[in-house]
Amino acid sequence: MAEKQSSVHTAELVSSTTRLTITEICQSCNVDRTWISELVSEGVLEPEGRSEGEWRFAAFTVSRVATARRLERDFNLNIPGIALALELLDEIEGLRARLRALEIPSEEPEDQ
């Protein structure tokens, strides 16, 4: 019988103004610096700062890195594939937001 791999996930609430270092991103997402650097080079992540030592990432980067890891794991995507998939997911989310903004609330009473 194959053993199931289990992991424990913890969460910490952070402010939208919180900035994280590359080390904090790597620790939070259980990834190595090289992989994060590759995501930055491909344009998937956009840190503040010029050099890796100065990089600061917005708090939402943790979620984006987690999504990138799932794409890599579930679909065996390489970095350019991850970049394309995330770009398309972002576009879909933007289109959904535009649709929601255009929706007119129904004035018909709900069926009871």
- Each residue of 42-67: pLDDT tens digit? 999 999 999 999 999 999 999 999 99
54-67 burial: b if 16+ Cβ within 10 Å, else e? ebebbbebbebbee
> If pLDDT is split at 50, 70 and 90, which confidence band does 108 have?
low
Q: Is 84 contained in some domain? A: yes
3-state secondary structure (DSSP) of residue 112? coil
Minimal CA–CA distance to 69: which of 85, 91, 93? Answer: 85
Q: Give the whole-angstrom CA distance, residue 101 versus residue 89.
A: 18
Report the CATH number that the domain containing residue 40 is assigned in CATH. 1.10.1660.10
Q: Domain of residue 70: give its range.
A: 19-102
Question: What average pLDDT score do residues 99-103 get?
Answer: 91
Query: Is pLDDT larger for residue 15 or for residue 82?
Result: 82
> If pLDDT is split at 50, 70 and 90, which confidence band does 103 have?
confident
